A and B are shown apart, each in its own frame.
Chain A
Amino acid sequence: MAGTWGRFNIVALILGFAFLYLPIILLVIYSFNESRLVTVWAGFSTRWYVSLFSNRGLMDAAWVTARVAFISATVATVLGTMAAVALTRYTRFRGRLLFSGMVFAPLVMPEVITGLSLLLLFVAIGFERGFMTVTLAHITFSMCFVAVVVQSRLLSFDRSLEEAAMDLGATPVKAFFQVTLPVIFPAVISGWMLAFTLSLDDLVIASFTSGPGATTLPMRIYSQVRLGVTPEINAISTILVGIVTIGVIVASLVNKRRRVRQWRDEQTAAQI
């Protein structure tokens, strides 16, 4: 195998990953820069992290974002999982084509369109813009991502397990919660994490649907970036990148342990 993995492939990977990671690494390095000028290195310092925590506007925005992301990810996970079950289990129902269209379209829909259309909906029904409207908007687009993640896990799930549970007297609802859900749970969790980071990250849809008092962190960052590159933005970016990196690594380790355990259980079951 190693023989066919030629030098060309290794060079392509090194260049590709350098391209992907270098900008982020530079961003992190320069967040520890003493100088106010982002591009001139003047020694190591954590002053921008200190000034970050005294920046009320940024801290308030971070708190709003955290709440929006938590609530919207949770609701989106429930709705997205339901949509995934509906799409994989019920292959025929009236309007299924429209349904699958509405699940896949938001994945590629330009954000300006989604944002504008949701804003106009909220205005048309007289909903006051603010925390609620941003949360509803985030639920709507992130549930589709959750649905796709959970659906691909459901497709590879062995349905005979569920059928066995029902043969043994479990109701379909009980079979779902006691057999199917534990098996697809890692996918549900990664769906939640994806929804959470999408919400944490969104600038365009939030700008359209948010109102006074519900400025999210990306909106705040964006308005500061427009005024120029500042080390403070580097500092908050570093914190966000750190949180996400730790989250993803922990999740993948947990997932791996689960899979190993599952594999061992299956082997044991096969021997019996």
Chain B
Amino acid sequence: MSRFLAFIASRLVIAVPYLWLLVFFLVPFFIVFKISLSQSAIAIPPYLPVFRFNEGIEGLLRGLRELSFENYGWLLDDPLYVNAYLSSLKIAAVSTLLTLLVGYPMAYGMARAPHSLRPVLLMMVILPFWTSFLIRVYAWIGILKPEGLLNQFLFFLGLIDQPLIIHGTTAAVYIGIVYSYLPFMVLPLYATLEKMDYSLVEAAEDLGCTPISAFWKITVPLSLPGIVAGCMLVFIPAVGEFVIPDLLGGSRTLMIGKTLWDEFFANRDWPVSSAVAIILLLILVVPIAYFQRAQARAREEEN
């Protein structure tokens, strides 16, 4: 009896979260795909065809014939969308690189800090990650505006006599992404750097390596898993970022997350926004799969 109960329990532990994710994570993608093949219409819901169960097979077949890839052709023809995809990829790539440049020295400094200090430093990196994303982006508006705190400060120092225009430009988007995603970069980097055996670096230096070339030849290759994980954690969500380009970027900063949002909320064109989402997903499938493989491998090793 108890063996039977244990069996049931073990099945439930798998089945309940599995079913939940199937229904609320996987199935919705198929619905998005289906709607991306539909046409926009003035109706509730605002697309055609709508499949209803009471219309039977005939209704189903008629509906299927109405589906088409028209939206995709239209998207790929329109330079606005193509540019939005390309510029999102570019902005995400540049900001990932900048985040790495800011995050690596921090993670390195943390990993070399005295043992007693490390938990406090770790906590200080995690804390901003717990506070609201929206609020942290909002904080930068007050800093970067033409009459904002940064310009006031630079005026005070006498470094400028004209306010710097940063808010509303792509530069502001870079700052926002680096700032918001920095903990995602620092944490995996710190995890690999902390485990590293620094006697290897010392050995290299004893054998005549300069500290800088020892860093490039030993520290960087050994921390590569952390670099990859950190870059993925920043790059993938940054491609589809909405809040940062919307609040910090200007009308000329094209990002696909914002395009999708406007298509959905301003134009109420559900089929086109679905097609935008599907293409974005196809672009991100490769990095996401790579990230998952890396994650799974790291966990297997721990096991």
A interface residues (Cβ-Cβ under 8 A, vs B): 1-2, 4-6, 8-10, 12-13, 16-17, 19-21, 23-24, 26-27, 30, 38-39, 79-80, 82-83, 85-86, 88-90, 93, 95, 98-113, 116-118, 120-121, 123-124, 136-137, 139-140, 143, 147, 151-152, 155-156, 171-173, 193-194, 197, 200-201, 203-204, 207-208, 218, 221-222, 225-226, 229, 233-234, 237, 240-241, 244-245, 247-248, 252
Contact = CB atoms under 8 A, between A and B. Distances in A.
B68 interface: no
A156 B254 CA distance: 44
Interface residues of B, number: 96
B135 to A, nearest CB: 4
Contact of B139 (A8, A26, A98, A104): A26
A89 B9 CA distance: 13
Contact of A5 (B114, B131, B134): B114
A117 B277 contact: yes
A248 B130 contact: yes
A13 B121 contact: yes
B143 to A, nearest CB: 6
Contacts of A252: 123
B243 A151 contact: no
Given A16-B106, A229-B141, A241-B135, A117 B31 contact: yes
B252 interface: no
B113 A201 contact: no
A108 B233 contact: yes
Contact of B131 (A13, A152, A244): A244
Given A102-B22, A204-B242, A218 B260 contact: no
Contact of B35 (A30, A120, A247): A120
Contacts of B295: 104
A32 to B, nearest CB: 14
Contact of B291 (A21, A104, A244): A104
Interface string B177-202: 00100110010000000000010000
Nearest to B261: A112
Interface in B106-161: 106, 108-110, 112-115, 121, 123-128, 130-136, 138-143, 145, 147-149, 152
A181 B106 CA distance: 35
B140 A116 contact: no
Counting from the closest, the 8 A-B pairs by CB-CB distance are A110-B240, A117-B28, A12-B105, A9-B109, A16-B106, A83-B17, A23-B139, A108-B236
B110 A13 contact: yes
B251 to A, nearest CB: 14
B174 interface: no
A110 B247 contact: no
A109 B287 CA distance: 11
Nearest to B152: A39
Nearest to B20: A79
Q: Looking at B103, B247, B299, which has the most chain A CB atoms within 10 Å of its CB?
A: B299
A200 B132 contact: yes
Contact of B6 (A99, A152, A171): A171
Given A86-B18, A113-B280, A136-B24, A108 B237 contact: yes
A62 to B, nearest CB: 13
A139 B32 CA distance: 20
Given A108-B288, A110-B236, A229-B141, 13 more contacts: A8-B109, A10-B109, A12-B105, A12-B109, A23-B139, A27-B142, A99-B14, A107-B233, A116-B32, A120-B35, A121-B31, A237-B138, A252-B123
Contacts, number: 266
Contacts of B23: 121
28 contacts: A1-B115, A2-B114, A8-B109, A9-B105, A12-B109, A13-B113, A20-B179, A24-B128, A39-B145, A85-B13, A86-B14, A86-B17, A100-B292, A100-B296, A102-B21, A104-B295, A109-B236, A110-B284, A112-B242, A113-B280, A116-B260, A116-B273, A120-B31, A120-B274, A124-B31, A155-B302, A201-B134, A203-B134
Nearest to A108: B236
B48 interface: no
A6 B114 CA distance: 11
Contact of A26 (B105, B143, B247): B143
A82 B13 contact: yes
A249 B19 CA distance: 36
Interface string B63-99: 0000000000000000000000000000000000000
A175 to B, nearest CB: 10
A23 B277 contact: no
B216 interface: no
B239 interface: yes
Contacts of A6: 112
Contacts of B125: 20
B149 A39 contact: yes
